[in-house]
Amino acid sequence: MEINKKVSEALNSVREKTPLVHHITNYVTVNDCANITLAIGGSPVMADDINEVRDMVSLASAFVINIGTLNSRTVEAMLEGGKRANELNIPVVLDPVGAGATAYRTEIAKRILDEVKLSVVRGNLSEIKTLYGIETQTKGVDSGETIDENADEFTMAKEVAKNFAKKLNTVVAITGAVDIITDGETLYTAHNGHKIMAKITGTGCMCTSLIGSYLGAADSALIAALAGITSMSIAGEVAYENLDKNNEGTGTLKSRIIDGIYNLNENVIIERGRINEE
């Protein structure tokens, strides 16, 4: 319950501070990322041109890099923005969407890791394993692997996350059926969410935007990552429970996830949050 309280305090901080969260993200989910940022209490900006990225990052409380739809123009803006954020001690979160799917995508993700100091890296198991250096399978930009909490793979995933976090001196979050969040020392597993969320494009991207919002207001990157993931997962649960199963589906679900974030409060987090420290 103590960790749920810390997450709820982080939510209150976002809503008090209204952090400006600068995104360079993908055009498939850019509107969803903007709306989820607004719903949690942040202020989104989606400027990706290299001619203004340094100025825009300078105004921000956090910077989100999402490589979902890569092109050479935005890659340079991502790197320039990340370096500017580092100069100003503005936290940066990377979503390495589809790392491992193509050589170019993997190369760019690793280049960002090398050239930008990151506060949080959030990805699925395949993406994180690829960046860590373990051969894996991907299916487009989706994970080819899932985490079974009772399998040896789950133990391996926790070790990969911890070791990678230590190597990068950052927070690594692996999202899936069970989420793993660690700074290399402390490790949390989070157990909220619903499998139907995988049927909606952009739930991972929106989760990263939430982490960016929390990073812009919280003192701890570890708590920010945990709070973003827990918030998204609880909203997904609530959204699914509120569906009329006879005539509503994934379109309504996405809207209700955003509603769930907008209506999220301290009581909901404390009552519903299922977080373990390991």
Annotated binding site for substrate: 46, 202
d(CA 83, CA 157): 29
Residue 161 burial class via C-beta count within 10 angstroms: exposed 0-12, middle 13-18, buried 19 and up? buried
Alpha carbon distance 273, 266 (integer Å): 10
Place of tokens 């490589």: 67
Q: Is 73 exposed, middle or buried (0-12, 13-18, 19+ CB in 10 A)?
A: exposed
> What φ, ψ does residue 47 adopt, rounded to 5°?
-90, 120
Q: How far apart are CA 121 and CA 28, in angstroms?
A: 20
- How far is C-alpha 93 from the geometric centre of its chain's CA atoms? 7
Where is the binding site, in residues?
46, 122, 175, 202
Helix (H) / strand (E) containing 139: strand 138-139
Annotated binding site for ATP: 122, 175
How many whole angstroms separate alpha carbon 130 and alpha carbon 115? Answer: 18
